[in-house]
Amino acid sequence: MITETNLTLYQVIKKEYEKKKRPLKIITDWDECLMSREAFSHYLFYKKKVDDSITFEHFFKKFWENAKVVYRGHSPKTIDSGITEIEEIRKNNPEKCLYDEIKYFARNDLDFYNQSPFLSLAQDLLNTVREGYVKEIVFTTLWAKPPAGLKMTSEDLEKEGDPRKRRRFENSFGKLPQCTMEINIPWEKDQKGEFIEVSRADWIKEYHPDFDIFIDDNLNTMKKVRKNHGADKVCVIPNTTENFPKGCLLVSVNVISLKDEDFVYQANQWEQTIEILPKVN
């Protein structure tokens, strides 16, 4: 479901910068914020099975106007795409449709993130870095099993996460000195050696309590972040999310044509015109 709003992430960041009179620290999720993993995996499936002429911009809007998505743990799961043709296929063969094919694109397609277009929140972040409103952006992502065809050890994945996403980051925001990507490993061992779940909210509280703005699509994470940090922190949710928590800001999101090449060009241009702040360790 898309909730109409005229508020943009750019406006939120600029207002908070003017309020605090200093550049800001931002923590943001990647999937469903900078790129739409759920919509794009369904889009690839739709192109393969139904109509390969549809644009992702059109499909994205149609998908989020109708989809029913639930959060189980850290990740969203689409229980109904709202796309008639996809749901007909799912009805006839639900396991094949949802598990073997749609999930294949998201989890195993080696070019998944390279193909996926950026969303408008990415452009807003890029613009606010350029204008000096931001001192640091931490892009957080979960540890993940390696896609088929890539051999990586568990140690590699704990450091790097999904190599497809890491590669896209390095080719885009990773070009800018204000930006880092960190892995939020969703479990750790307790004193007894047993695995316990570590939520993203707990991870932020431990490693990045000094953030100013947090961006995520997961309602459960947002509620806990607000509980941990109070009203002094700004929590932002894309307007593809239903029933967002009280006190969070809903911002508009759409598909844009931002390319990796734009980051390289912009970074080179900025180095000639403004002082680039160093990375914050």
Q: Is 15 exposed, middle or buried (0-12, 13-18, 19+ CB in 10 A)?
A: middle
In a domain? residue 278: no
Band of residue 108 on the pLDDT scale cut at 50, 70, 90: confident
User: With contact defined as beta carbons under 8 Å apart, do 27 and 34 qualify?
Assistant: no
- Of 61, 86, 114, which one is at a domain's C-terminal end? 114
In a domain? residue 1: no
In a domain? residue 150: yes
Q: Which tokens belong to 122?
A: 């990415």
Task: Report whether pLDDT(245) > 80.
Answer: no
Task: Report whether pLDDT(153) > 90.
Answer: no
pLDDT tens per residue, range 183-227? 887 666 667 766 566 789 989 999 999 999 999 999 889 999 999
Greatest alpha-carbon span in the chain: 58
Is residue 128 located within the same domain as residue 148?
yes
pLDDT tens per residue, range 109-121? 889 999 999 999 9
pTM: 0.86
- Of 57, 86, 114, which one is at a domain's C-terminal end? 114
Task: Report whether pLDDT(4) > 90.
Answer: no
pLDDT of residue 99: 56
pLDDT of residue 280: 45
pLDDT of residue 248: 93
Is residue 103 located within the same domain as residue 163?
no
Task: Report whether pLDDT(148) > 70.
Answer: no
Which bin fits 82, alpha (ψ -120 to 50), beta or left (φ > 0)?
A: left
Q: HSE on the CB side for 255, CA within 13 Å?
A: 18
Q: What domain count does the chain have? A: 2
Angle separating helix axes 120-130 and 260-273, nearest 10 degrees: 10
Print the domain residue range for 181. 9-35+118-273
Measured between alpha carbons, how far is 79 from 87 in angstroms, rounded to an integer?
A: 10
Whose tokens are 């807003």? That residue is 124
Is residue 20 located within the same domain as residue 53?
no
Q: Which of 34, 48, 156, 62 is nearest to 104 (CA)?
A: 48
For strands 179-184 and 195-197, give the pairing: unpaired
Name the strand (E) or helix (H) holding 25: strand 24-29
Is residue 167 located within the same domain as residue 47?
no
C-alpha dist (Å) from residue 182 to 39, 143, 254: 24, 10, 25
User: With contact defined as beta carbons under 8 Å apart, do 124 and 10 qualify?
Assistant: yes
- Of 93, 114, 135, which one is at a domain's C-terminal end? 114
Is residue 127 located within the same domain as residue 46?
no
What is the CA angle 197-108-144, rounded to 5?
20
Task: Report whether pLDDT(10) > 60.
Answer: yes
User: With contact defined as beta carbons under 8 Å apart, do 248 and 222 qualify?
Assistant: yes
Is residue 98 located within the same domain as residue 141?
no
